[in-house]
Structure 1
């Protein structure tokens, strides 16, 4: 078992894991991302990446992933990591790969002086909630998550509004 930074060759496997995660989260048709999207975000031809990924590999096969990006806290004055997606294939769960992926991100935070590692979890996902709590993660129940997309985003973002 190995945890490592993703390479461009991992993009097809990462996209498949994202699709598998969407199915697990009961949104199998919600993934619009393509390999080109992931390649551009993770490995841009110019400039700095906006998104990062680590993969879990067993016997040369990518079986898990953590996709993340940097955040900034105005309260602490430093960056943190937002874990966008963590996923390990169901048959590989319980092997320590999920913990190892999170530990890698936590180590990145510690090494770089980041103050936070944060993510969302669906309220119905009891196995994940229990797993995260067992590692010492604390739910932030006092906050409500808001999202704006589609027509509302287009309307608010239209010129002259």
Structure 2
């Protein structure tokens, strides 16, 4: 399994994976939304970056991440926005490989933490996360502007 940045030829497979991720979380996602995110991943001026896991001639996982400032500690961390493994490939180590690659990136950039959130009922992914990271005691809130 090779972990690498997505390239332009990956678009159809990336679309398939990202649509699967949106379906898993029951998020209505349009092709225009995927166009925007794909653009971010290939825009050096945008903070979002991506990784894909390739096995043979097929993409089996994707991850999107970005740096974030940690003012209280005067450091920078990395935030893992999305991690999705094709259901047919789960259990093959793709998630572990993606997290290991992201950890290498974090070390090379001097990030002090990699942080992410997941759904409470995402039990399969949480089994991986519980092996790889410490669950925090923080509660997350969303304030929707204008609502």
- Partner of residue 117 from structure 2, selected from 113, 120, 125: 120
Q: Which residue of 2 aligns with 1:142?
A: 138
In the TM superposition, what is the alpha-carbon distance from 1:33 to its structure 2 partner?
A: 5.3
Instruction: Please give the alpha-carbon distance, in whole angstroms, between the structure 1 residues aligned to 2:138 and 2:48.
Output: 28
Q: Which residue of 1 aligns with 2:23?
A: 23
Q: Which residue of 1 aligns with 2:39?
A: 40
Q: Deviation digits for residues 31-88 of structure 1, max 9, x if unmatched?
A: 13534313321113xx613210000001121111111111110022222111111011
Alignment of 1:47-58 (within 5 A): 48-58=45-55
In the TM superposition, what is the alpha-carbon distance from 1:15 to its structure 2 partner?
A: 2.5
In the TM superposition, what is the alpha-carbon distance from 1:119 to its structure 2 partner?
A: 0.7
* Number of corresponding residues: 146
**Alignment TM-score, normalising by the size of structure 1:** 0.82
- Please say if residues 80 and 114 of structure 1, whose CA atoms lie closer than 8 Å, have aligned partners that are also in contact: yes
Instruction: Please give the alpha-carbon distance, in whole angstroms, between the structure 2 residues aligned to 1:63 and 1:147.
Output: 34
Unaligned residue ranges in structure 2 (runs of 5+): none
Query: Relative CO higher for 1 or 2, CA cutoff 8 Å, sep ≥ 6?
Result: 2
